[in-house]
Structure 1
Amino acid sequence: MTTLSVDELRAAIERELPGVRADLERLVRIPGIAFDGFDFTPLERSAEAVAELLRNEGLEVQISRVGEGHPAVIGRKAAPAGAPTVLLYAHHDVQPTGDLSQWESEPFEPTERDGRLYGRGVADDKAGVMAHVAALRAFGENLPVGVVLFIEGEEEFGSASLEALLSKHRDELASDVIVIADSGNWDIGQPSLTTSLRGIVNSFVTVEVLHSAVHSGMYGGAVPDALMVLSRLLTSLHDDKGDVAVEGLVAKEASPLDYPEDRFRAEAGLIEGVQLIGTGRLVDRIWTKPTISILAVDAPKTNEAPNAIVPKAKAKLSMRLAPGDDPKSAYEALKAHLARNVPWGAKISFEFEHDGNPCVIDATGKYFDAARAAFKQAWDGTDAVEIGVGGSIPFISTFQDMFPQASILVTGVEDPNAKAHGPNESLHLGEFARVCLAEALLLRNVAVAGETVA
């Protein structure tokens, strides 16, 4: 097999980067949001734009959806004789912008400041799409492996139709290596392979004390209000140190990385004086131990509230699960804990929203070695580290189940300052260049490894 050398690929990526960035900016200008209540027309435009990019690289392209799901783009180029096939995943949908007043520039008008490109979706995950395209452009007609690009259109909204899409196109997507470009790196200048992610269970709990609101002066002191009940109930979810107090949840130890507290506080944007919660190493707390966050509470607005005892209150809870835990049993454990701790005999009810499996990846084998070598070459001799992610990408376990023989590499373009999902999301342009080079080198190394007898 003849393929481009490391130096040739380095020069090719440098040559292609201006055009790659221009196309990235074009994608960022399309506000494709899959959340209910948004106009879905931009999602169609986004899918068409991605399809055009892939067609221009000589791939056979189709836009696919299942039922009411949003459009995914699938592009294929057959492998040379005897060469492996690599599936390249990313997603073209983005998060809503949130409070526009918190943005320093327009979310859908990419803007460069101090070596970073700002805009919604610029890091999560349109740069992932363009890293794949950059690698294809670097090789041109000399691609040494087969590729299948699967660019999803509803990842940020839960990937509801992903499993059906994978089943529908299972034969077309079959591959030796799967690269999921939807994670990040440990730090600027430090490449990473993500080898564990937490699972998730989102649900609602409601407490009721009265059939309707009553006068707070006439009945207060004897009748507990629903917000008081809910507040006491929610505080039972954590012990005095801030660890989750729900019995039956799994907790594990993370990889041996040191996360200095001052760095963590700065990257989290923690207000001075606020203490951290939980016990154990920071990487354990944010990667491999369970957490419960109270995302929202339904209650009267302060400027509209009458002097009346609130009869009913509702909270939305998000529980992150350690690798190895099961979302269904974890949800039952949560319900049992809340039912056991509801004060003063208040009526309690539960509503399940959605869940997703955690995952662990065994990062051994020739294709993982190929990835590590590519990262080391792209980052000028810096070895990749294995990291966990506290967030959840439930579909990774779906890929594991449906393609058990494939090596799954979870990579990405984000760094600790990317602020994905938040205001002022951004992409470090220097790191993006390395990511693009690393992916081109990965395809080269996979081709070489594929020739090696196991």
Structure 2
Amino acid sequence: MDLTERISDLMPQVKEELTELVAMQSVADPRRYPPEECHRAAEWVRQKFDRQGFADARLEETTDGSHAVVGTRRCSNPQAPTVLLYAHYDVQPPLDDTAWDTPPFQLTEKNGRWYGRGTADCKGNILVHLTALRALGGELPVHLKLVVEGSEEQGTGGLEAFVQDNADLLRADAILVCDTGNADVGRPAATVSLRGMVNVVVTVEALTSELHSGMFGGAAPDALAALVAMLATLRDAKGNTTIHGLDNNQTWAGERYPPEQFRTDAGMLDTESVLGDGTVSDMLWARPALTILGIDCPPVVGSAAAIAPRARARLNLRIPPGLEAPQAQKALIDHLRAAAPWGVAVEIEVEASGSPFRARADGPAYQALAAAMQQAYGRPMVMLGQGGSIPLCNVLADTYPDAEIILMGVEEPRALIHAPNESVDPAEIAAMSAVEAQFLQNYASIHP
């Protein structure tokens, strides 16, 4: 029986186990969700991998209080390469429960897809690891290490610190970061580029208190108007991000993102235009992108005829490879200060920053992956970027400079990760399980 047939026979077990795992409300936010749910998920993962030969599988507490499942499994060939398998069991909160068509923590099959929080990001990828190992059975061709963390979605850095403090524990020749996905269902891809980010909160103060707009409006500075004027300078009429000092003309050399597919994936209205004067791929993966995440100002309901003395906004700047986070942070802060009108007071707080990441995609692990994807999907692997940030990748690259880092997984655009109605196509779990199993075989045979 070949790998595809074995995996097909395993799919009922995949659905049963993913149902169990999705039912655990493993949101790593103890203020809103019971921490016991994360511990349940961690222990579930530990037990499953223990049964797949990771006899030392255990929970390791990280600096943010979360638990990572770590373990090792060795093959019979002492000269075989080592592969680290990564995923995370924590999930995003469901956000607005009323926006879900199905219960967020109950796996529900509809129109051939499996719905529920974490079905794709990232519990579906945990099942890929398990299914690949089950399909291989006792024929393990490489040494394996495992880390499945519990705070990736919160970004609190527990695993990043753990890697740096325990470098030898997770050292490997190739690292499979299974937390991304394909270009579309049935279109295999490796993600080779991640944008970094800078988050800031900008506060504008213009007056010591509110003033009657009839008595003082027109001469007194308006903090909200000043903030709006500042924010308006961050994009031009076409939607390009226009921060002084940041290159806005880079192009993407990998797989193109068709505009019509992007319009569908993004849920755009027929009357709306795709932003920017580059291709969709350029705008998403090669150029900086500024998003206004939130504004504090008087709400419409209950607002008075008064001039706002104070207003603030939370901004997110995504930065492509080739641009370092400190440089982007300085450019954004300098731009905001220079754009402030009327001598208003401006305070800027940096909430977080992270560097972009670009993988080296010309080594034996990528050759093995490309062959595995061709075998599993019957079509060539493409190279994608991703707009999101995974700070762990930079830590892994710095800690293990000789390792090949591969980002892949089941999270294609229709999965709607982080949004209501997240789902996974079970065909992607099956195909990516075959990819992983075949990759391990291929890598063992071509690794120098």
TM-score, with normalisation over the residues of structure 2? 0.96
Q: Is the aligned partner of 1:258 residue 2:262?
A: no
- 1:208 corresponds to 2:202: no
User: Displacement of 1:255 after TM fit?
Assistant: 2.3
Question: Which residue is 1:79 aligned to?
Answer: 75
Match of 1:424 in 2: 421
Once residues 148 and 45 of structure 1 are traced to their aligned partners in structure 2, the CA distance between those partners, rounded to angstroms, is 22
State which of 5, 14, 25 in structure 2 corresponds to 1:11. 5
- 1:146-177 Cα offsets, whole Å, 9 max, x none, are 11111011111114122221123321211111
Q: Hey, what's the Cα distance between the residues in 1 that align with 2:70 and 2:200?
A: 33
Q: 1:447 to 1:147 in 2, by over 3 A?
A: same
Which one-letter code corresponds to 1:165 in the other structure?
F
The alignment status of 1:62 with 2:58, answered yes or no, reads yes
Q: Which amino acid aligns with 2:258?
A: P
Q: Specify the SS of the correspondent of 2:219.
A: coil
Asked if the contact 1:193–1:387 (Cα under 8 Å) also holds between the matched residues in 2, the reply is yes
Structure 2 partner of 1:146? 143
1:45–1:237 CA distance, 2 compared to 1 (3 A): same
Unmatched runs of 5 consecutive residues or more in structure 2: none
The aligned runs of 1:251-330 (5 Å cut-off) are 251=248, 252-330=250-328
**What is the match of residue 373 of structure 1?**
371
Is 190-199 or 65-74 further displaced after alignment?
65-74
Partner Cα separation in structure 1 for residue 156 and residue 251 of structure 2: 28
Task: Kindly state the Cα deviation for residue 444 of structure 1 after the two structures are TM-superposed.
Answer: 1.1
With 277-286 and 74-83 compared, the bigger mean Cα shift is at: 74-83
Query: Shift of the alpha carbon at 1:351?
Result: 0.6
Please list, as runs of the form range in 1=range in 2, the aligned pairs for 1:37-436 lying within 5 A after superposition.
37-39=31-33, 40-59=35-54, 60-80=56-76, 81-251=78-248, 252-379=250-377, 381-436=378-433
Alpha-carbon distance between aligned partners in 1 of 2:441 and 2:156, rounded to the nearest angstrom: 31
Number of the residue aligned with 2:28: 34
CA contact (8 A) 2:254 2:383 kept: no
| Superposition deviation, residue 131 in structure 1 | 0.5
Query: Cα offset for 1:250?
Result: 4.0
Distance 1:20 1:75, change over 3 A: farther
- Partners of 1:195 and 1:211 lie apart in 2 by 50
Matched AA of 2:280:
L
RMSD: 1.4
For each residue in 1:67-93, what CA deviation from the matched residue of structure 2 results, as whole angstroms up to 9, or x when unmatched?
333111112112322111110101111
Distance change >3 Å, CA 88–CA 124, structure 1 → 2 = same
CA distance in 2, matches of 1:396, 1:359: 7
1:293 & 1:153 partners in 2: Cα distance? 27
CA distance 1:446–1:322, shift in 2 (3 Å): same
Residues 250 and 159 of structure 1: is their aligned pair in 2 closer, same or farther, counting only changes over 3 Å? farther
Could you tell me whether the CA contact under 8 Å between 2:18 and 2:119 is conserved in 1? Answer: yes
SS of aligned partner of 1:97: coil
Give the superposition deviation at 1:327.
0.7
Indicate if the aligned counterparts of 1:288 and 1:390 stay in contact, CA closer than 8 A.
Answer: no
Deviations 1:240-263 (A, max 9, x none): 221111122245321243332222
1:280 Cα shift? Answer: 1.2
Distance in 1, matches of 2:36 and 2:335, equals 43
- Deviation track 1:381-422 (CA, whole Å, cap 9, x = no partner) reads 201011111121121111111011111111110112110001
SS at match of 1:45: helix
Task: Check conservation: 2:164, 2:395, Cα contact below 8 A.
Answer: no
Query: Match for 2:356: what amino acid?
Result: P
Contact 2:62 / 2:68 at 8 angstroms: preserved in 1?
A: no
- How many residue pairs get aligned? The number is 444
SS at match of 1:179: strand
2: CA distance, partners of 1:87 / 1:68: 22
How many Å separate the matches in 1 of 2:153 and 2:298?
30
Contact persistence 1:51–1:62 (CA under 8 A): yes
For 2:22 and 2:30, locate their aligned partners in 1 and report how far apart those are by CA, in whole Å.
Answer: 20
Letter matched to residue 286 of structure 2: T
Is the CA contact 1:159–1:395 (under 8 Å) kept in the aligned structure 2? no
Question: Any stretches of 5+ residues in structure 1 without a counterpart?
Answer: 1-6
Residue by residue over 1:186-240, the C-alpha shift from the partner in whole angstroms, topping out at 9 and shown as x without a partner, is: 1111100111111111111010111111222221222232211111110011122
TM-score w.r.t. length of structure 1? 0.95
SS of 1:241's partner is coil
8 Å Cα contact 2:101-2:421 kept in structure 1: yes
- State the one-letter code of the partner of 1:177: A
Q: Which amino acid counterpart does residue 445 of structure 1 have in structure 2?
A: N
In percent, how many aligned pairs have the same letter? 40
AA aligned to 2:19 is E
Q: For 1:250 and 1:96, how far apart are their aligned partners in 2? A: 35
* 2:443 corresponds to: 446
Indicate if the aligned counterparts of 1:249 and 1:321 stay in contact, CA closer than 8 A: no
Cα distance in 1 for partners of 2:199, 2:148 equals 25
Does the Cα contact within 8 Å between 2:18 and 2:107 map onto a contact in 1?
no
Distance 1:368 1:277 in 2: 33
Give per-residue Cα distances to partners, 1:41-73, cap 9 Å, x unaligned.
211111111111111212121111223331111
What is the alpha-carbon distance in structure 1 between the residues aligned to residue 169 and residue 318 of structure 2?
33
2-side partners of 1:323 and 1:68: how far apart?
28
Code of the residue aligned with 2:31 in structure 1: it is G
